Structure formats: structure tokens, C-alpha cells
Amino acid sequence: MSTLFDKYAPLQARVDMMMKIGTDALGVKFDDILSATRGRIDNREILLAGTNNYLGLTFDPDCMAAAKKAVDDHGTGTTGSRVANGTYAEHTDLEHALAEHLSMPSCIVFTTGYQTNLAAIGGLAGDKDVIFMDADAHACIIDGTRLTNASTIRFRHNSPEDLDKRLKRLGPIDGGHPLVVIEGLYSMFGDIAPVDEFVDVTHRHGGYLYIDEAHSYGVFGPTGCGIAEDQGVLDKVDFISGTFSKSLASVGGFCASRHKEFEITRKVMRPYMFTASATPSNISAARAAVDKVKQGAHLRENLKARAEQLHRGLSELNFDLCADPSPVIAVRRPNEAVAAMEWNWLIENGVYVNLAVPPGTPQSSSLLRISLSAAHTKTEIDAIIGAFKGLGENQGEMMQSMAAKLQAAE
């Protein structure tokens, strides 16, 4: 008899294979987080190299104190949406601080980063508009387009030329406008968009440019505003979205715009209107972190140095890296089974990275994904490089072990 879950049989087979090789890399449980770069799994201390904690602010004393004070002042939750009882002074203060930092007149704060793109894209694109989306867009961007009745056209990854060609082919839109959606730093490969070129192409065709700076806000630019600031076009971008769960060391998200009319979308964005607002502690921690970002040139300098150190070390070991140095360094592996085996070996040898496999990766790649932190030291980066060196030296033994485990499980 068929069941509702039969459609997941192929996925279950992949999970079963992963479990035969070792543990569930997509369901890791940390027993304790000791610092921005150290955690504990099964009573073993682990070097964290896959947390997206880019500026290392999760243990910053000011951010922690702000979160604790918010709980004392307001309790643990808001129990309502932003359009009901869920807007506190802290929410609007954070919106003003982010708008000021980005030099934009409007900013709206959301409960999660994922929800930010669902709400903003879904609220901006109308029936007659056309969304142009980078081929490697994050899942929340794709899902945001699905909340609209707008047509969606994909263009080649990081290719302003292909976007230009597709905009020309479409021509003027009767009663609508193009909305071009890209990312600043792409989260899987760690490659960077030519935002300045996208600005030129988009505006030349009368479109609006929307950039997700989730992995680049706080990390790039003289004041940490992201790739758009780093490339000198922050004032030309129409919409910038971001998350609190990376550099801002909290949970939540935001979308800012150089168009003050963006404020009206609060009245139509369903993921904004019909979900509980972010907790006071999360909002207050993020607000403290914004100040740290603005003053964080030293953090960005160390993060850049550690990224270059790791990229150089892995390159010298002849690992196949997906992009130039950035806070995200992805190591391409031959297939999913090998990647899972190597992920287990790294955990057993004290280093946590992300296992990234299809369909969540570009080009159906299987990756060992590393995300670095400004809190990482030179010594810790050397330890990561040493672990990958051991990975290469023990490849034959690991392959034999994997084959034996898979055979024993049959």
C-alpha cells in the first residue's frame, strides 16, 4: 500500500547511505558552544569552521548584555506580529540604525533572514512585473518568487552580459518593471558578484536591483555595508536584504531601500504581517552588533587575512577550491559518498565544516564548505589546514573503510 511518504524513498536511500558511512552530517547536535570558534560534540572539543559567524560576535560582551537586558525589560517573546502588538521600540530603533548605516531612507526588520526574502520579493513584484534571478539564487529567493504571480526569468550565474541579453530580448514591459535579484557573496561557492556591472545593466533597462547581502553584510566595505559598498555603488542599489544570523550574531533579517515608498509594502507582505515578530533579545543583540560592524575594520582585516591563509594552504595541498579567497571556502569533492566520508573523518579529527550536497549546491556539486570567523586565529587556521592535509594522506585507508562499511550494511 502506498503512503504519503513514498515520494521520499530516493532521499531516504541517500540518508541511509550517509548513516552507513558515519553519522548524520545534516543533523549534528552540539552539546555546548564554548566560544565563537570552539564547541563540544560527544564530550569532544571541536574547532568550528562552518558556523557563518563571520565577525565572531556571538560571545561579544556588549551583544550578550543587550540581549540579557531585553529579556529583563520585555520578557522572552512578543506574542504578536509587527502589525498587531509585535512592534517594540527596539524594532524601530534597529530599523533606523540599519537605514542610517546603509544611507537609505527605509528599512524593515523581519523575524528571520529567510522570511526577509520571502516577504520583500513577494511584496515588491506584482502581476505585471518580471523577476530576473541569478541561476545560483538561494532557496529563499526562489521561494520568494513563488509567492508572486510575476514571471521569472533566470540568467547565467554572475553574468551581467547574459542579464543584458535577456532584458533586451524581453523589451519594454507593459504596465510592469524588471526586478533583478542577485546576491553579494554566494553562500555555497563563496564567489562574489560584480554588483557594479549589474547596477549599470539593470538601470539601463529601467529595472530595479535587489541584492541579498546575507553573507557579505558586515564583512565587506569600509564600514561593513557589503559588496555594494565595497564596489562603490551602495547609493545606486534599490534594495538590500540581509540577515542577523551571520555577522550580526542573532536571528532575524532586514530589507532596506533607497526608495522611501518601500514602507507601504509593510501593508502587503504576508510573511511580515502574519508571523510573530522577533524577540526583544534577538533584536537588541542585533542592534548592538550593528555598532560593532560599523567600528569593525579590524575584524574585517583579520577575517580577510585568515581567508587568504586558509585558501593558500588548501591550494598548496592541491584541493579543488570553488572560488577566490573569501570568508566562504568551498572544497569540491568527487561525489556525495566521498564528501560524507571525509566530513566524518574531519569531525573525528576535531574539525567541524559543512557537508553541502545536491540539490542545495550549484552544478550538483558535493562540497566540504568552510566559513571563517574574525575570531579564528592563525593557529586555528593552521589546524584546519593540518586536518585537510591528513585527509589527503589517509584517503586510501578511508576509501577502504567506506567500502567495508557499505558492504557490511548490504
- Verify that 48 and 64 share a domain, yes or no: no
Q: Are residues 254 and 270 in the same domain?
A: yes
Give the contacts of 345 (CB within 8 A, at least 6 positions apart): 390, 391, 394, 398
| Final residue before a domain boundary, out of 294, 319, 342 | 294
DSSP 250: S
* pLDDT on residue 396: 74
Distance CA 28, CA 13 (A): 19
Query: What is the number of domains present in the chain?
Result: 2
With respect to residue 132, please indicate whether it lies within any of the assigned structural domains.
yes
Distance of alpha carbon 322 from alpha carbon 362, whole angstroms: 10
Instruction: Assess whether 100 and 133 both reside in one domain.
Output: yes
Torsions phi, psi of 300, nearest 5? -65, -35
Q: Same domain for 126 and 236?
A: yes
My answer on whether 16 and 78 are in the same domain is no
Same domain? For 146 and 230 the reply is: yes
Per-residue pLDDT of the chain (410 residues; tens, 9 = 90+): 899 999 999 999 988 888 888 888 888 999 999 999 999 999 999 999 999 999 999 999 999 999 999 999 999 999 999 999 999 999 999 999 999 999 999 999 999 999 999 999 999 999 999 999 999 999 999 999 999 999 999 999 999 999 999 999 998 899 999 999 999 999 999 999 999 999 999 999 999 999 999 999 999 999 999 999 999 999 999 999 999 999 999 999 999 999 999 999 999 999 999 999 999 999 999 999 999 999 999 999 999 999 999 999 999 999 999 999 999 999 999 999 999 999 999 999 999 999 999 998 999 999 999 999 999 999 999 999 999 999 988 877 777 776 677 667 66
Q: Among residues 238, 259, 294, which one ends one of the domains?
A: 294
Strands (E), 252-301: 253-257
Which residue segment(s) compose the domain that 148 sits in?
Answer: 60-294
Rounded to two decimals, the pTM is 0.95
The C-alpha cell 518601500 sits at 262
Within-domain flag for 138: yes
Claim to verify: residue 85 and residue 177 sit in the same structural domain: yes
CA distances in angstroms from 251 to 28, 48, 83, 216, 310, listed in the order given? 19, 19, 20, 16, 28
Does any domain span residue 165?
yes
**Which residues does residue 151 pair with via DSSP β-bridges, in sequence order?**
130
Q: Are residues 254 and 305 in the same domain?
A: no
Spatial CA neighbour of 253 closest among 242, 266, 261: 242
Whether 234 and 343 map to the same domain: the answer is: no
- Which three-class secondary structure string do you get for 63-84? HHHHHHHHHHHHCCCCCCECCC
Query: How many CB atoms lie under 10 A from the CB of residue 322?
Result: 20
CATH of the domain at 164: 3.40.640.10
Whether residue 129 is contained in a domain is answered as: yes
| Neighbouring residues of 211: CB distance < 8 A, sequence distance ≥ 6 | 181, 182, 183, 184, 193, 195, 226, 227, 228, 237, 239, 240, 241
- Position 23 scores a pLDDT of 86
Same domain as 393, residue 312: yes
Calpha distance 7→181 (Å, rounded): 32
- 255 and 351 share a domain? no
User: According to the model, what pLDDT value does residue 410 have?
Assistant: 63
**Rounded distance between C-alpha atoms, residue 69 and residue 73, angstroms:** 6
The CATH number of whichever domain residue 348 belongs to comes to 3.90.1150.10
Q: Provide the 3-class DSSP secondary structure of residue 285.
A: helix
**Residues forming beta bridges with residue 352, ordered by sequence position:** 48
Angstrom distance (rounded) from CA 227 to CA 234: 8
Question: Is position 311 within any domain?
Answer: yes
- 1 found inside a domain: no
In a domain, 213, yes or no: yes
Using alpha carbons, list the distances in angstroms from residue 200 to 6, 127, 154, 160, 163: 48, 25, 18, 9, 11
Residues 6+ apart with CB under 8 A from 168: 205
Domain boundary among 254, 273, 294: 294
> Quick check: is 366 in a domain?
yes
Whole-number Å distance between alpha carbons of 50 and 216: 16
Rounded Cα distance between 121 and 33, Å, is 34
Q: What pLDDT does 314 receive?
A: 98
Same domain, 238 and 303: no
